[in-house]
Every structure is written in C-alpha cells, then in structure tokens.
Chain A
Amino acid sequence: MTELYKKLEKIVSKTYISNDIYVRHAYSRNVDIVLQGVPDIVIRPKDAKEISEILKVANEENIPVIPRGGGDCEFGGSKPINDEGIVLDLKRMDNILNLDQENLIVTLESGISWGKLNEYLCHYGLYTGCMGPGSGMTASIGGGISHQSVGGGGCAKYGSCTNQLVSLEVVLPTGDIIETGSQANKFSKFPFNRFGNGPDLAGLFCGDNGIFGVKTKISLKVFPKPEYADYKTFLLPRKSAESAAQIMMEIRRKGIDVYDTMFITDVVVELGSKQGFFPLWEHIKKKKGMLFYIIEANSEAELRENVKALDDIILSKKSEYLGPEISDGNIAKWHYTEQGHWQFYHNLWGMFPSMQPLSAECFCPIHMFPQVVRDVDQWDIEHNEEMQKIFNITKIRPISGSGPIPLVDGNNVEVTAGFLSFWKYYEGELYEIIQETNLKLWKSLIKLLVKYGLQYYMMGEFMSRLMVEIGAYSEEYYNFMKSIKKILDPKMILSRGKYNFWEGEKI
C-alpha cells in the first residue's frame, strides 16, 4: 500500500476507498465504451470536508482527481483521461438536506439523482421543472450543474437545469470550501437567491465540466407541478425538419409557455420502427419525422386556450394528429405521464450489439437546425469510404443523423448530431481499425458542426480537447479560462487534461 493510499484512507476510512483492480475498471468508463481511463484509486467521500482533505493530499502528491456523479457523460467527463488518478464517486452524497416550502427551494447533496429528488418532491406537489438530462434516473444533480444539462423533460419551459440554481457549495481544487449566491454572506440563514453579493460566481461552476471545483451542496428552485396538462404527437409532412423548426419558432413568437416540444427526426422514426422499438407507430404507413408538445396549465380554461393555439400552429403545417393514447402513436403521453423522458434517448443505445452513439450535444438556434441535419447527411455521403471499412467487418453500416431535438428555453434547440458506430470488439475479435476510424470520423463531424458556431455543453474529455485542438475558442476567451484555472488550480489537479490546459508543459 502506497503512502498516498494510506493518507487517503485516513481521511475516509478503509470502507470507502479502493485500489482493487476490478473496482478501478468498474469506474473506467462512462456512457461510452470508446473512451476509457482506469483510475489508480476510487474514493467515496461523505462530505465537503473529506473532499477538501482529499484535494489537499492530491495537491501535495501531484495526483489528478476526477469527480464523478452518475457517470452519465457521453464524452468521458467523469473518468480519468489517462490511466491515473483518483475518481471521487459522489454517489454516497445523495441526501436531501432541506426543503424550504415557503420559498420553494430545495437543498441537497450533489450526488443525488434527478429521479430520487423528484420522487421526494412529488409528495409535496412539487418538481424540479427541468428534469435534468435524458439519463436522469441515474444522472446526478451535481453532474447536471457541471454540464448545463437538458433533455430529460421540461427544458422548453425551464431551460437548462442551471437556470434553477440558487446557491452552490463548492470545494475548490486547492481544498478551500466556498458557498455562492446569498450564502456568500456569512450571516445569511438560508439560501434564497443566486445573484447579488458581487459577481455571479455560481455561474463560474455552471457548465465547467468539473474543472473549477467539486460541487458538494446545491440549492435549487422548485416549482408546484401544475394540475392540468395535455400532450399531443403529430406526424410531420415531408421536409419534417423545416416544418418542425417553423413550428417551434412560431410557438416562441406567440409566447406559448410550452413545457416540452420535441422533434423526432426521420431517421429515428424510420430506423426505430424498422427495428421494432416503436410499436406505437407501426400503423403509420409513411414513417417520417414526428413532433410532440406537452403543455401545462393551472386551470382547464388556460389549458384549452393553449392547446388550441398550439394545435392551430402545428396543423397549419400540414401535420397529422395521431390521437390521444400512447397506442395511437402519442409518445408525448408516455414522455410526460409515465416519465418516459428519462428513457427517451435510450432508443439510440445498443441498437445493435456493440453499437453506440458517437455524437455531440449542443445548443443551436432553432432556425439553423434543419441545415445542421442536412449537412450531417451530406457528411455521411462524403465519408462513405470510411464507413465501408466498418461495414466490411460488422456487416452493418454506421448510421448518421441526429437524435430527438428538443426545444430549449429561448430560441434554441438541443441537437445530438453524430453517428452510431461499433466498438473495436466485435464477435470475439479486436479490430483497431474500427477504433481508429471511429475517432477520425467523430472528430471530422464535430469539426464540421463546430464551424456553425454551435454551443457544446456536455464536453467531457473528448469535446473539451477537440474544441481547443481545432482552434474553435477565441484566443482571448481561452486565455481567460486558462487564467482562471491557473489561479484556482495551479497544479491542474482537478479533471486534468480537459481543455488541454498546459498541454506539453510540466505540471
């Protein structure tokens, strides 16, 4: 046992630390099998104080630390970038600390999942509004804040989960513990507002992809769940992406406070139906893009009025209403009433054995997404030769396109564009050519999309480094980010390797 291990064990006790080879490999991947990094040690701390002590030791010993919530990043965000370092598994910190029913603010430990938190809140008639990412049954609130997560429901109305943030307790990379927002004032009795007391330093940690600090305690605004809701699904006409974009823009122009609106692309509908994942759409002859909405209201009259306004917009685009029941094709009902929002993206996972999405999740202005979808199709044609290399082994060609596209607050959508491909292990053999081709194609596609100016938010290892590698950041912005990192984390302990800070320099 190394001196480092002994020091760490003293902090958390032997029950919560492991350097067992199998435990380490269990933490070596996220929702992604292409990217892997095996930690030296895994620790399950119980609170900010322990994390602070761990980070101090890591600084003394110059060993990187990577925080991990639900482990649901698709771009290697919560695993080591190389085979080294300490993974901080924050899932032990999953308690709800306080529900302030007067001010509608919940305070919790950062490792709790969206599912667990919302189960607790529903007993009080409350919910989180934005329900986190599509993997919200497992994904943690801390991870959501670190990634500006959307996609697990409610993001048209509430936007990214960071919109609800009131205050954060953060352990800085050097071990100092700070609180933000109203809690920056040491006399404040309880969290009530994010802004004020100087600059919005909570914002520094929103979407930081775990580089500026370890979030340990989070206060979020919560909302009464409206008593009334309706949900409808429509089959779009030809050129479905263009129709969907027009509908979404019209909804925004008319100021309808829709809870969710999602465009399900032609490729998802066609492929999913072909593979038998959507029995609810079996009866539809022409498999084309779909669009659904979910609208909430506080009275029947309000609901009726909004439903009519939405129906008018959507039906004017030659869309076809599929009917009220899930069996009629109304996937929106499943999404809202059965909390299918936390499984919505699973239809892209494991479509064929060893197949996984090599994509990137970004915010995109509504009017631009049809062009993005078209260009992904064009990119696919242009890279047919490389795709064939994979096909020659697997006999199934990689599939390009975008996953479901939800409306986000403001005039944005979330686009998950990329391709589904295979991992290098196929039918008992290892094919390095698949891995090489995957990485080459993945980079090529993301380079294309970055040049639209799209905003990536869940960046992890892959996207954060690629953005730097292809020179997407303005020099001034990148240097500013790097300066902050240098002040907060001079030894680059936390999430070492992301954004390529100090690449090639001695740490």
Chain B
Amino acid sequence: MSELKHLKEHWKDIFSCMGCGDCGYAIRPAVERYLVCPVKEAKGEEGFEITFSRGRMNVLKSILVGQIPLSKELAEWAYECSECGSCTEVCHMTHNENIALPTCNWIDHVQVWEALRKDLVDAGFAPLERHSNLIDYMNQDDMKNPYGEEKTKKFDWTKGISGLKEKGEFVFFGGCTMPLRQSETLKNMVKILQSAGKEIAISKDEWCCGSIALRIGDNQSLLKSIRHNIEEFKSMGAKVVFTACAGCYRTWKKDYPELLGEELPFEIKHITEVLIELLNNKQIPFQTQEEISKKVTYHDPCHLGRHMDLFEIPREVILKIPDIELVEMRRNRKNAWCCGAGGGVKSQYPELALEIAKERVNEAIESGAEILTTSCPFCIGNLKDAYDDMGPEIQGKIQVIDLLDLIASKL
C-alpha cells in the first residue's frame, strides 16, 4: 500500500467532514445557492455519491484507516473533479460574516483532492494517459508547454506588434493557452494597453507556469520551471508581472510562494487588476458610442474567484465599458457554476467538461444577457466549445467573448 504521505497531511480536512452532504445537494434560495457540484449534476441520474465531495471524503476516510487501497480505478474517479471549490464554499459558508462554521478552520477540499492526486502519482496510478502526455510536453526542452507545440511558436503572436520591450518593470506572462490557442485576444490586450500608454516587456523564454502539473498532482519537475520563470523575470527588471490567464495567475500568486516558502521578488497581477487602474485613471480611450446598450453577463473563473477572491474587480471593469449593462447570472461570485474545464477535466474528460459548460451557457441566456464574457482562457475555450456544440438556436441568443476582446471592440 502507498505511504499516503500527502493524504495523511490532510487528515484534519478529511476527518472534519461529518458527511452532511450539502456539498452535493445544497439549495438555499435566500442566499442564491442553487446546487453545488458541476460534475455530479453533469452526470445526472448516474451521479453516485462518489461523484461529489461527501462520497469522496468517505472513500478517503476508508483509505486512511487502511480498509481500501489506492488504485488506477480510484484515479479515474479522482480526476473527474474540476477542483472548482464550490463544495468548499458551501461547507464553510453561512452566507453571513457574523456567523462562521467550524469547518472553515479545517476543510479545504481542493487541497485534499490535490493531495490524493499526488499520492496516486507517487503510487504509480497517475497521471492518466492524456495528462501524462501534457506533462511530458511541458517538460520537454523544445516545448515547455502542454500543447506539444514548438517552444518558439508560443511567441508567434507578437510578430508585427511594435513597441514590445525585452526588459522593463511591467512584464507580461503569456502562459500557454492564450499564445497558442487565443492569440487574437492577446493582440487585443496589447492594443488596449498600448492605447492607454503602457509600456510592456515580454520574455521570449518563459516556460509553462506549471498549473497543469500542479492540478494533476505531478510536481516533480516543477521547481525547476518555477525557478526558471522567476529568474527570467527578475533579469528583465520586473516589478509587476501580469497575466491574462486565471490559471497562471493563481499559480504565480498562490502556488509559487507556497511551494518555495518565500515571497516573490515582484508583484503579480491579473489583467483585470491592471485594467481597472487604467479605467479609473481614464487612460483607455473608448471610441464607439452606440445608442442601445448590450447586456453582458460575467462568468467567474474558479481560479480567479473562489480560489483568489477576485470577484468585484472584473465587474468594475465591465461597468466602465461604454454601452454595456452588466446583468448577473443566477449563480454568481462564490456561488458561481464552474465552466467544467479545470482540474484537468477538459483534457482527460472533454465530454464531461462540455456538459458542464453547456449548463453555464444556458444560465447566461436565462440571465437575459446577449454576451457572456469572462477573463480566463480555459473558461473561454470550454464555453465556446459548448456554444459551438449547442446549435444555431442557442447561438442566436448569445455570444461568448473574452473580456479583452469586448474592450478592444470599443476602442
């Protein structure tokens, strides 16, 4: 049997779970809580208890007391979780700051799932096949990205853009998904920032931030990447490193300092934090003035919202875009429904990720919005995939647009 090193470190989380089941079933209209687990709901009637946190915690209790072992079969269950953290919110929240629940002192479900994944990796039952490929690509010297693309291709999007610096205090970290899959959005980002007078430095030797490996639980070679990235940006003279990827943001801002046990030598910002400063200073020169405003709804990416508590700034950004009316989906902020892409679900179980995203697109339509926007390339990618799969009837009702593209369209 595996040593269960990581799970044992989280025994407090696991044995503080009493098994009330609110992580699977909570509906509490007074505080806008309408269900919890996107994976369980996407599984529909097939949703045995093991598809959500209570059942998984019960399994971990049995594992820790030696009743059942880790296995490949368990890994298949474990990697179906998108690690959105919605269960943790329900477990901790009374929805009122004046009353706290004891569980908030002990239980962090996402950390428990990641501990399980690490033990599965240590025991040789994980990574699963598709995840394994991603990590191999990420570690290869000629790639350093999980998409299996040549390393240099990640910087193709900058061709033809003038004014980008090799050194500077304000440095952009592109990550992998946007440069390789959503490069037009990045070009729009530069357009916005340059129109606001910002000088941007970009590295040509950044490596994958390692988010995928971390979420999968395989961080063996991660420290090398982390140190490389930090040294690279330090050498560029960075004071602020910003990114437009919610996953990279969480990894840089939360995971790097935790893994290293030290503060980073520069500040980490998400693009929405950069944008709000520019908007507050009226530095972004909006041009268009349409007569009829469009209704826009904002999807909270889990890595930005529940994981990093960044709920209001993206909304403040949207509110400052001309001719836009912000409408909320029924489930928003801490209650937001995950898009389904996170935690390695999109790569290993794409159909499951798609089902979850379809629910979110439908929820956006129910809000009355004409545009569904967000600020995470994983969410955008998955929501767009779902949208494309949903047919013309849905497509006539709403558009899915990255927040940067939305702003750029108003310049």
Contacts and interface: CB of A to CB of B under 8 A. Distances in A.
B77 A22 contact: yes
A135 interface: yes
A124 interface: no
A33 B55 contact: no
A277 B99 contact: yes
A22 B19 contact: no
Contacts of B27: 113, 115-116, 119, 137
Contact of B25 (A21, A42, A115, A355): A115
- Residue of B30, B74, B98, B107 with highest tally of chain A CB at under 10 A: B98
Given A26-B59, A115-B26, A137-B28, A350 B17 contact: yes
B49 A23 contact: yes
B58 A137 contact: no
Interface in A323-340: 326-327, 331, 334, 337-340
Q: In the complex, which of the residues B29, B55, B96 has the most CB atoms of chain A within 10 Å of its own CB atom?
A: B96
A343 B58 contact: no
Contacts of A351: 102
Given A23-B50, A44-B48, A353-B11, A28 B62 contact: yes
A32 interface: yes
B18 A31 contact: yes
A428 interface: yes
Given A21-B68, A26-B59, A430-B65, A339 B15 contact: no
A33 B61 contact: yes
A17 B315 CA distance: 45
Interface string B228-240: 0000000000000
A349 interface: yes
Given A137-B26, A275-B102, A72 B20 contact: yes
A116 B26 CA distance: 8
A428 B100 CA distance: 27
A16 B45 contact: yes
A347 interface: yes
B58 A334 contact: no
B282 interface: no
A15 B21 CA distance: 22
Contact of A276 (B16, B26, B100): B100
A115 B28 contact: yes
Interface in A88-109: 89, 91-92
B99 A425 contact: no
A20 B21 contact: no
Contacts of B25: 70, 91, 113, 115-116, 137-138
B16 A22 contact: no
Interface in B186-234: none
Interface of B: 8, 11-13, 15-22, 24-31, 34, 45-50, 54-56, 58-59, 61-62, 64-68, 73-74, 77, 94-103, 105-107
9 contacts: A22-B74, A26-B54, A113-B27, A116-B27, A122-B29, A338-B94, A340-B95, A350-B107, A356-B18
Interface of A: 15-16, 18, 20-23, 25-33, 38, 42, 44, 46, 70-72, 89, 91-92, 113, 115-116, 118-119, 122, 135, 137-138, 275-280, 326-327, 331, 334, 337-340, 342-343, 346-347, 349-356, 423-425, 427-428, 430
